[in-house]
C-alpha cells in the first residue's frame, strides 16, 4: 500500500511516497525515477493498484 | 630460517612457524591477523542486525534487494521460499564466532529458467581500488567463510561486476558433511578484463552465495565469463528441499592466493561501517529523542534534522519508521501520522537526514520540538545502501 504526499520546499512542489509495510511500519522516499525504491512502486501501480491521495 | 635480532639485553627471534620469541623466552606465536583492514566484506561475522534485531524474516519481495543482517541482502524471483534470521536455529557458531546468518527453505521449489535465489553483498568501489580489476595489474583474491547446511554436495558462489552485471566468476564449493560447520576457501583469479568500477561510492562488485538457480543465469564453474551469472551449473539448490538449512559466517575477501585468519573488528567499528549504508535509532521507552530541536512550521507539521551517526555513502534514499512522535522536550508527545524524507535542495545530506513529520493537530507554530518515538516500538532509520 502506497500513499503520495506533496511537499513544497522553497516554492517548489515535490512528490514523496509513503509505503505502508504493515505492522505499523512505513518507508518514505522521494518520487524520483533514480530512487532505488521507485521501481517497486511503479511495478505496484502497473499491477492495477492506485496510491492513496495526498493528505490535505 | 629464523631471523635473530641481538641487542645488549638479549635476542629476539622471528620464526615463520614459532612466531616471535623475546629475550625473556615469552612468545607470540601468531598475531590475530597478519595485517588489518584486509577484509573487504562488511559484517562478515553477521554481528550487526539493525533492521531485525535477530527476528525472523520471510523473503516475500521478488525482483529487488531485501536487506536482513546489515550489508547482506536477498534477491529472489519467487516469494516466500526462504526465511532468514540472525542465528536461526540456535546452533553453536564456529569457534570464535557469536553469530551467523541462517537461511531455511520454506518449500521444495525446483528453480527453472530465470529463477534466482541468492544472498549477496555489494562491495563499494572505494574499498576495492587496489584490486585494479579489469587491468593488467589486477589482483587475485581469496574468499573464506564458514558454512553449515543440512544438505551436502556442491554449492554455488559467484563474484560479478556491477551494476553492469556482465562479467562473472561462478565457482562450486563442496559441503561434505550435513549439519557441520566447515571452513571453505576459494581463490578467485585476477580478472584482467571486464568493466569494473574501482573508485567512487557505487558498486565495485558483488559477492553472491546462490541458494537456487535456473538455467538462464547458471554458468560453468571456475572460469571468468563475459556473462551475467548468479549461480553455478550443477550446484545444489537449497530452495529445492523443504526445510533445508544453510548457515554462513566469517565471510572474508582479501587480496592473495590463500586465506588468513578472519579479521576481527571491534563492535563499534563494524557498526559504524554498516551505518555508512544504513542506520536505525530505536525507541527505548515513551519519547526517546531522535533529533535535535526542530520546528513546527504549522500546527500539524514540523521539520527535524537528525545527525547521521557517520557520514553516509550518499544522501539517504529512504527512511523507515514506526511509532514516531513530536515531543515538547519530553513533557508531551503527539503521535506522528506520517513522515517523509526531505531530500530537496539544501536539506538531507551525507551528514543529516531531514524529516518532515505530520500530526493530527496540537502543535504551536514556530515552537521548537524534537522528533521522538511515541512508544518503545518506535524507530527511525535511513538507508543509503548500494
Q: Does A53 score more than 90 pLDDT?
A: no
Determine which of A1, A20, A29 to mutate to test the interface with B (most B C-beta atoms within 10 Å). Answer: A29
Reduced to 3 states (helix: H, G, I; strand: E, B; else coil), residue B341 is strand
Please list the residue range(s) of chain B that carry CATH number 2.60.120.260. 57-274
Q: Which helix (H) or strand (E) holds A43?
A: helix A38-46
Q: Does B34 score more than 90 pLDDT?
A: no
Determine which of B306, B318, B354 to mutate to test the interface with A (most A C-beta atoms within 10 Å). Answer: B318
Q: Which residue has the higher pLDDT, B32 or B170?
A: B170
Q: What is the pLDDT of residues B130-167, one digit of tens each?
A: 999 999 999 999 999 999 999 999 999 999 999 899 99
Rounded to an integer, the average pLDDT of B183-194 is: 98
pLDDT of residue B14: 64
In chain A, DSSP finds a helix count (H) and a strand count (E) of: 1, 3
How close B225 comes to chain A (CA, Å)?
Answer: 28
Q: What is the pLDDT of residues B278-326, one digit of tens each?
A: 999 999 988 899 988 899 999 999 999 999 999 999 999 999 999 999 9
Please list the residue range(s) of chain B that carry CATH number 2.60.40. 277-383
Whole-number percent of chain B with pLDDT over 90:
84
Rounded to an integer, the average pLDDT of B86-97 is: 98
ipTM reported for the complex, 2 dp: 0.94
Residue numbers in B near A28 (CB within 8 A): 318-319, 321, 338-341
Q: Does B18 score more than 80 pLDDT?
A: no
Q: Which residue has the higher pLDDT, B31 or B316?
A: B316
Beta-carbon contacts of residue B20 (< 8 Å; ≥ 6 apart) = B12, B13, B14, B27, B28
CA separation for the pair B32, B18 (Å, rounded)? 14
Residue numbers in A near B385 (CB within 8 A): 36
pLDDT of residue B345: 62
Burial class (CB in 10 A: 0-12, 13-18, 19+), B343: buried
Confidence of residue A12 (pLDDT cuts 50, 70, 90): confident
Q: Which of B105-114, B153-162, B329-338 comes out lowest in average pLDDT?
A: B329-338
CB-based contact A9 B61, cutoff 8 Å: no
Confidence of residue B31 (pLDDT cuts 50, 70, 90): very low
Beta-carbon contacts of residue B326 (< 8 Å; ≥ 6 apart) = B296, B302, B333, B334, B336, B357, B359, B363, B369, B370, B371, B372
pLDDT of residue B60: 93
Q: Does B192 score more than 60 pLDDT?
A: yes
Query: What's the topology of domain B277-383?
Result: Immunoglobulin-like (2.60.40)
CA separation for the pair B355, B308 (Å, rounded)? 12
A56, B139, B304, B335, B376 from B325: Cα distances, Å: 20, 51, 12, 4, 11
Q: Does B342 score more than 90 pLDDT?
A: no
CA separation for the pair B28, B40 (Å, rounded)? 27
B96, B208, B291 from B93: Cα distances, Å: 8, 21, 38
pLDDT of residue B28: 56
Q: What is the pLDDT of residues B200-231, one digit of tens each?
A: 999 999 999 999 999 999 999 999 999 999 99
Mark which residues 25-44 of A lie under 8 Å from B by CB.
Answer: 25-30, 35-37, 39-40, 43
B142 with B254: CB under 8 angstroms? Answer: yes
CB-based contact A43 B63, cutoff 8 Å: yes
Task: Find where cell 537449497 sits.
Answer: B238
Q: Does B32 score more than 70 pLDDT?
A: no
What is the architecture of the domain spanning B57-274?
Answer: Sandwich (2.60)
Beta-carbon contacts of residue B331 (< 8 Å; ≥ 6 apart) = none
Q: What is the pTM of this model?
A: 0.91
Is the bond preceding B163 in cis, omega lying within 30 degrees of 0? yes
Q: Which of B21, B29, B2, B18 is nearest to B10 (CA)?
A: B21
Amino acid at each position: 500500500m502506497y500513499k503520495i504526499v506533496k511537499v513544497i520546499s522553497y516554492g517548489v512542489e515535490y512528490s514523496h511516497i509513503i509505503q505502508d509495510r504493515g505492522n505499523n511500519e512505513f518507508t518514505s522516499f522521494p518520487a524520483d525515477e533514480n530512487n532505488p525504491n521507485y521501481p517497486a512502486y511503479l511495478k505496484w501501480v502497473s499491477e492495477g493498484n492506485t496510491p492513496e491521495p495526498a493528505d490535505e | 630460517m629464523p631471523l635473530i635480532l641481538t641487542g645488549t639485553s638479549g635476542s629476539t627471534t622471528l620464526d615463520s612457524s614459532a612466531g616471535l620469541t623475546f629475550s625473556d623466552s615469552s612468545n607470540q606465536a601468531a598475531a590475530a591477523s597478519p595485517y588489518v583492514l584486509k577484509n573487504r566484506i562488511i559484517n562478515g561475522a553477521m554481528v550487526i542486525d539493525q533492521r531485525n534485531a535477530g527476528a525472523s524474516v520471510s523473503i516475500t519481495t521478488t525482483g529487488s534487494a531485501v536487506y536482513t543482517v546489515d550489508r547482506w541482502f536477498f534477491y529472489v524471483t519467487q516469494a516466500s521460499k526462504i526465511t532468514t534470521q540472525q542465528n536461526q536455529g540456535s546452533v553453536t557458531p564456529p569457534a570464535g564466532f557469536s553469530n551467523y546468518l541462517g537461511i531455511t527453505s520454506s518449500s521444495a521449489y525446483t528453480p527453472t529458467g530465470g529463477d534466482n535465489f541468492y544472498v549477496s553483498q555489494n562491495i563499494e568501489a572505494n574499498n576495492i581500488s587496489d584490486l585494479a580489476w579489469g587491468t593488467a595489474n589486477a589482483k587475485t583474491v581469496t574468499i573464506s567463510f564458514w558454512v553449515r547446511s543440512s544438505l551436502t554436495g556442491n554449492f554455488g558462489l559467484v563474484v560479478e561486476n556491477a551494476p553492469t552485471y556482465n562479467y562473472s566468476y561462478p565457482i562450486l564449493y563442496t559441503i561434505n558433511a550435513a549439519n557441520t560447520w566447515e571452513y571453505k576457501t576459494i581463490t578467485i583469479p585476477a580478472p584482467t578484463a571486464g568493466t569494473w568500477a574501482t573508485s567512487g561510492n557505487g558498486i565495485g562488485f558483488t559477492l553472491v552465495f546462490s541458494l537456487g538457480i535456473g538455467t538462464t543465469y547458471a554458468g560453468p564453474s571456475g572460469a571468468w565469463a563475459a556473462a551475467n551469472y548468479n549461480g553455478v551449473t550443477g550446484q545444489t539448490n537449497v530452495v529445492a528441499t523443504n526445510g533445508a538449512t544453510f548457515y554462513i559466517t566469517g565471510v572474508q575477501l582479501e587480496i592473495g592466493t590463500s586465506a588468513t585468519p578472519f579479521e576481527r573488528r571491534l563492535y563499534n567499528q563494524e557498526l559504524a561501517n554498516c551505518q555508512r549504508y544504513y542506520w536505525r535509532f530505536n525507541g527505548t521507552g515513551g519519547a526517546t529523542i531522535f533529533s535535535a530541536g526542530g520546528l513546527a512550521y504549522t500546527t500539524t507539521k514540523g521539520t527535524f534534522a537528525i545527525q547521521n551517526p557517520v557520514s553516509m555513502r550518499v544522501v539517504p534514499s529512504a527512511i523507515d519508521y514506526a511509532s514516531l512522535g513530536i515531543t515538547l522536550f519530553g513533557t508531551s508527545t503527539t503521535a506522528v501520522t506520517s513522515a517523509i524524507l526531505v531530500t530537496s535542495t539544501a536539506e538531507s545530506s551525507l551528514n543529516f537526514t531531514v524529516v518532515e513529520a505530520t500530526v493530527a493537530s496540537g502543535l504551536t507554530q514556530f515552537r521548537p520540538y524534537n522528533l521522538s518515538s511515541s512508544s518503545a516500538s518506535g524507530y527511525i532509520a535511513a538507508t543509503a545502501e548500494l
